Chain A
Amino acid sequence: MVAITASGRAAPVSTGHPHGDEGEDGFTELFRAGDERALRMAYERFGPAVFHLALRGVGGVADAEDVTQATFVAAWLGREGFDATRGSLLGWLLGIARRKVVDQIRASARDDRISDSVRRMAAPARDGAADAPPDHIVDRLVLADEMARLPGEQRRVLELAFYDDLTHPQIAALTGLPLGTVKSHLRRGMARLRSRWEVDGATSGARAAGTPGAR
């Protein structure tokens, strides 16, 4: 049974993840074990990112809502295919969402062709352009999530470097942190982001292949 598997895996799930904090609130395990409270938690926590990806990938809000719906339904029905040792739940969800975006675009293209033939209008340029949303959207979403998980001071330092374009001496001056601490935060924070990106980013091999049954 899934539940047995999941409970037996609970420890490996945590340690297997590169950052080990994915399951800090326990819901990754609950999710895999089929506890629907976890689905709601996943929806609240990652629904915004999935919806954002969908909005960027398809034309309109209605389509994006459909993609979001299809993503969570597929994720739930295929939850046994989620392997926390291979990536985070968010990365997995975004992988599903990308494919749902492709499905949606193809369906729209089909509809367009049908209506176009009826109306005898030119086929839309979109035909055949059923590409996944650009990888960098997934990458950014994953990194934004990882940023949010960083320890507060580390996050603050990275924010100042990223968003305010401050150098490490400027950050040290602004925050009052010793220069060495700032550099250490930058190094560790960047290492975490990088490792998350390599695991969960759109171009990671595991992501592309790792979701059987979740279509």
Chain B
Amino acid sequence: MPHLEPERLVLLALGEEALDQHETGHLDTCDQCRADMDSLRNVAGLGRQTQRLRELPPPPEHVWRRIRAELAASGRGEPPPAVGLHSDPPPPRPGLTGDAGDEQADPGPESAHRSGEPTGPGDNRTPPGDGRTPAGDTGVPEDAMPWATPPGNTPWIAPSAETGWEALPGNTAWTTPSGATGWETPPNDATWAARPDDDAWETLPGDDAADAEDPADAVPTARLGASHEWDAFGAADERDELQYNVFQPDRVQDRPLHIGQVRDGRDVDDDGAGARRARGGGRAARGHGWGLTAAVAAAAAIVAGVAGAGVGVRVVGGRGSGDAAAECRAQDSRVRLEALPGAPAGASGYACVRTSGGQRRIVVRADGMPVQIGADYEAWLIDDSGPGERVAALGVLGAGPDLALAAPATVDLSQYHIVEISVEPHDGDAGPSGRSMLRGRLP
């Protein structure tokens, strides 16, 4: 008898058909056909068990951060220079960096990959307890963070691999992120926050002078630890666009963060950072507010960088901009935000980039997202062009479905292509939780 036909072998291996007498006889004597048969049966058996493996959940994002940190620490996995990923790195800014001394030393292109990360094998476990910090979930040797010590009373903004940026306010005692214990003392314990204010930009005369003159209302100016991380962005220049200011905490409670509008025109102020703080209280809520502050401070840093010498940024607020600014117009090309594994059924969303008055804003809309208890939805911008993701917080969407968020583009949108919406529990960790629900890629 000739060898079994390949199609016949497959059908037999799949168990669709049974061997007849001749075929059985052939298999007994033909090693080749028997080997084929055994192999195909194995494959069929294994193939039937692949169904649940089609949509495996990804490992938590912090695993990636640890990989990156370990590679950076090993000295063999240095990523390509961050500045090299940008088309137009800015020149050094002596006016901003001149008096900073050692601490101001350019942390170098690899710094983003070192900050807030363990520095070697064996230091990889998440420390016990609430060890999560805004800078990461593991220990941070200070020498890995050239910017870890703020110079004098100067407000300080430092890049972070995790949150994108962290604001380290001046005029306050603060503690460096110390290893597993995290932020023992958040800067200026009552927490910074940003809020919208009435009008107009405010330009401050210099870096430090303004703070010294009027610390209560001073606008922290930026020192750019690694300004090339943010080398291109559209500076806000219109009053009715959202802009940001960073204020001292005595004004926080009555004027909470205003970072977006509810789609139907309701202000999210009532349910914004202030409300979250009130609800959550204590460390958890503060941590969340801190994350938002970080994003806002990043905006301040970039504005200062673009303008050269110290520049104050004043929130103009979303009040004037109304709903319309939080909607994608017909001419704005939308990208769908796809539901990721783990997202609630029916969840969907879209995002678009709006340009008006030379400023780019990202409008994010999510639908079908159930209300979270003890958590919020937060939108992030992610740059995945490099070896590691860089993440910038866009803002919190709020507690319910059908919310839209408008935020100014404070980052180079040619780098930050991915918009993601994640569930952020009130756990004191300002970084992305990794529980991403929706994701889309901007054109």
* Residues of chain A having any CB pair with chain B under 8 Å: 35-37, 39-40, 43-44, 47-52, 62, 64-66, 68-69, 72-73, 76-77, 136, 139-141, 143-144, 147-148, 158-159, 161-163, 167-168, 183-184, 186-187, 190-191, 193-194, 197-198
Q: Are B14 and A186 in contact (CB under 8 A)?
A: yes
Q: Are A190 and B63 in contact (CB under 8 A)?
A: no
Tell me, yes or no, whether B89 is within 8 Å of chain A by CB.
Answer: no
Chain A contacts for B121, CB-based, 8 A? 73
- Contact partner of A162 (CB less than 8 A), chosen from B50, B57, B59, B60, is B50
* Residues of chain B having any CB pair with chain A under 8 Å: 6-7, 10-11, 13-14, 16, 39-40, 42-44, 46-51, 53-54, 56-60, 62-64, 66-67, 70-71, 74, 76-77, 79-80, 121, 124-126, 384-389
- The CA of A187 and the CA of B388, in the complex, are separated in Å by 41
Distance of A101 from chain B, by nearest CB (Å): 14
- Contact partner of A184 (CB less than 8 A), chosen from B7, B39, B44, B126, is B7
Q: Are A190 and B10 in contact (CB under 8 A)?
A: yes
A48-B57 contact given A139-B46, A186-B14, A194-B39, CB 8 Å threshold:
yes
A-B contacts, 25 listed (Cβ < 8 Å): A36-B77, A36-B79, A36-B386, A40-B388, A47-B58, A47-B63, A62-B125, A73-B77, A140-B46, A140-B49, A140-B53, A143-B43, A143-B50, A147-B47, A158-B47, A161-B16, A162-B44, A162-B48, A183-B7, A187-B7, A187-B10, A190-B44, A191-B6, A193-B47, A194-B40
Q: Are B63 and A65 in contact (CB under 8 A)?
A: yes
Q: Are B48 and A190 in contact (CB under 8 A)?
A: no
Residue on B with the closest CB to A169?
Answer: B16
Chain B contacts for A190, CB-based, 8 A? 10, 13-14, 40, 43-44, 47
Residue on B with the closest CB to A41?
Answer: B384
Chain B contacts for A191, CB-based, 8 A? 6
- Contact partner of B39 (CB less than 8 A), chosen from A44, A187, A198, is A198
Chain A contacts for B126, CB-based, 8 A? 62
Chain B contacts for A162, CB-based, 8 A? 44, 47-48, 50-51
Q: Are A65 and B79 in contact (CB under 8 A)?
A: no
- The CA of A20 and the CA of B419, in the complex, are separated in Å by 33
Distance of A104 from chain B, by nearest CB (Å): 12
- Contact partner of B50 (CB less than 8 A), chosen from A51, A73, A77, A147, is A147
Q: Are A140 and B67 in contact (CB under 8 A)?
A: no
Chain B contacts for A77, CB-based, 8 A? 71, 74, 76-77
Distance of A164 from chain B, by nearest CB (Å): 10
Distance of B81 from chain A, by nearest CB (Å): 11
Chain B contacts for A76, CB-based, 8 A? 67, 71, 77
Q: Are A186 and B53 in contact (CB under 8 A)?
A: no
Q: Are B10 and A48 in contact (CB under 8 A)?
A: no
Residue on B with the closest CB to A64?
Answer: B59
Q: Are A69 and B124 in contact (CB under 8 A)?
A: yes
A147-B389 contact given A77-B76, A190-B40, A198-B39, CB 8 Å threshold:
no
Residue on A with the closest CB to B36?
Answer: A194
Chain B contacts for A136, CB-based, 8 A? 46, 49
- Contact partner of B54 (CB less than 8 A), chosen from A64, A73, A144, is A144
Residue on A with the closest CB to B85?
Answer: A37
